[in-house]
């Protein structure tokens, strides 16, 4: 009976989401654990089957580090950003576009819906420029996104599931390593997506980062902004990899995305649970408090 109840609970959400775009930032355990990878692919394919338009954006930090080490190249981070000289960005591009991206495409293909992989260069999806570390230090070819042109995504999404690797080039043709959270946010905004979902390795946005039970299940973009700016309000100061995620959520909501979600990718099917059940699973961020998910 529980199965029937779950299906019935999902129905109004399926109706609400039909024809709408959801941008999913894919990362962490959901991208490395074999079982979770299969679950993720099934979830994404199911979203497409029920008439949603899923767009996947991924990074691949651990894989880049792995290949850097195999090539005996130094690995260095400043303010959580990878110091990227010419050799580093070359490896990052090869690994993200040639390996990680194609592995995800294959995974989704195998589960019954054809996917197409692309990077920021394809169809001029995004143009980047050099971004210094927050401390001002030059960290090389680490880019921010200046312009997004989603025309290519709209074409591909008519028949395929787009899978985007977060690298892109500037006007002169130099390639940059781009934070995948920022890329996902910029794409969601430009597509006027209904939802932006981050799959990550924490239970959600935590009131106290050392307490996994302290998930903030719902917040407004203004509350998130106050916390990111000064650590005021609902959360302890936001640090590390949660900062670009929350910033992307704020920018997305201000840019017209209806909801942003931060979801525990370590839990099987967390994507479906967050989207299609009343209780949800992680943190839901919207323009204002609401009763609907
Ligand atoms: P991803 O690979 O999904 O981008 P990151 O490691 O970059 O994940 O970002 C998530 C990390 O952010 C968490 O593991 C945690 O260490 C850190 N963090 C800092 N502040 C918070 C917070 N308030 N709530 C949750 N995580 C936080
Ligand atoms: Mg991160």
Pocket test of ligand 1: the residue of 27, 63, 166, 202 to mutate, having most ligand atoms within 8 Å of its CB, is: 202
Residues having CB within 6 Å of any atom of ligand 1: 27-28, 181, 200-202, 205-206, 209, 235-236, 238-242
Q: Which residues surround ligand 2, an ion (CB under 5 A)?
A: 241
Q: Are 197 and 29 in contact, with CB atoms under 8 Å apart?
A: no
pLDDT digit string (tens) for the chain, length 293 residues: 568 888 888 899 999 999 999 999 999 999 999 999 999 999 999 999 999 999 999 999 899 999 999 999 999 988 778 899 999 999 999 999 999 999 999 999 999 999 999 999 999 999 999 998 888 889 999 999 999 999 999 999 999 999 999 999 999 999 999 999 999 999 999 999 999 999 999 999 999 889 999 999 999 999 999 998 876 666 566 888 898 999 999 999 999 999 999 999 999 999 998 898 877 789 999 998 765 44
Say if residue 130 is exposed, middle or buried (CB neighbours under 10 Å; 0-12, 13-18, 19+).
middle
User: Which ligand 1 atom lies nearest to the CA of residue 199?
Assistant: 3
Gap from CA of 212 to ligand 1 centroid (Å) = 11
How many secondary structure helices (H) and strands (E) does the chain include? 10, 14
Ligand nearest to the CA of 265: 1
* Distance in Å from the first CA to the final CA of the chain: 24
State how far Cα 228 lies from the chain centre. 18
Ligand 1 atom 6, closest CA: 241
- In Å, what is the CA distance from 259 to each residue of 43, 110, 293? 19, 30, 8
The pLDDT of residue 234 is 63
The neighbouring-strand residues paired with 148 are 126
Cα–Cα distance for residue pair 52/70, rounded to 1 Å: 40
Q: How far is CA 269 from CA 75, 162, 178, in A?
A: 33, 20, 27
| Minimal-distance CA residue to ligand 1 atom 16 | 240
pLDDT of residue 171: 95
- Report the atom number in ligand 1 closest to the C-alpha of 205: 24
Q: With CA atoms as reference, report the closest residue to 118 among 65, 183, 163, 167.
A: 163
Ligand 1 atom closest to Cα of residue 244: 7
For tokens 């941008």, the residue is: 23
Strand (E) or helix (H) holding 145: strand 142-148
- The protein residue whose alpha carbon is closest to atom 4 in ligand 1 is 241
pLDDT of residue 280: 76
């Amino acid at each position: 009976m529980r199965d029937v109840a779950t299906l019935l609970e999902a129905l109004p959400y399926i109706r609400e989401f039909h024809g709408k775009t959801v941008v999913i930032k894919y990362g962490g355990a959901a991208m490395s654990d074999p079982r979770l990878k299969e679950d993720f692919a099934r979830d994404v394919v199911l979203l497409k089957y029920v008439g949603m338009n899923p767009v996947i954006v991924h990074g691949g930090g651990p894989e880049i580090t792995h290949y850097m080490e195999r090539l005996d190249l130094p690995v260095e981070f400043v303010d959580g950003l990878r110091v990227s000289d010419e050799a580093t960005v070359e490896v990052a591009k090869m690994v993200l576009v040639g390996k990680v991206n194609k592995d995800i495409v294959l995974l989704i293909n195998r589960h019954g819906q054809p996917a197409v992989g692309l990077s920021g260069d394809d169809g001029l999806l995004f143009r980047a420029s050099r971004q210094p570390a927050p401390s001002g230090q030059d960290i090389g070819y680490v880019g921010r996104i200046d312009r997004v042109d989603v025309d290519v995504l709209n074409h591909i999404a008519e028949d395929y599931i787009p899978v985007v690797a977060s690298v892109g080039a500037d006007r002169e043709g130099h390639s940059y390593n781009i934070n995948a959270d920022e890329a996902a946010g910029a794409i969601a905004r430009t597509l006027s997506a209904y939802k932006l979902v981050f799959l990550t390795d924490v239970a959600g946005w935590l009131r106290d980062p050392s307490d996994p039970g302290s998930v903030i299940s719902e917040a407004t973009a203004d509350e998130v902004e106050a916390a990111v700016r000064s650590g005021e309000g609902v959360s302890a100061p936001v640090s590390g990899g949660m900062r670009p995620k929350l910033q992307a959520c704020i920018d997305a909501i201000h840019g017209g995305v209806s909801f942003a979600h931060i979801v525990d990718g370590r839990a099987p099917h967390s994507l479906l649970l967050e989207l299609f059940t009343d209780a949800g699973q992680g943190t839901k961020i919207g323009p204002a408090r609401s009763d609907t998910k």
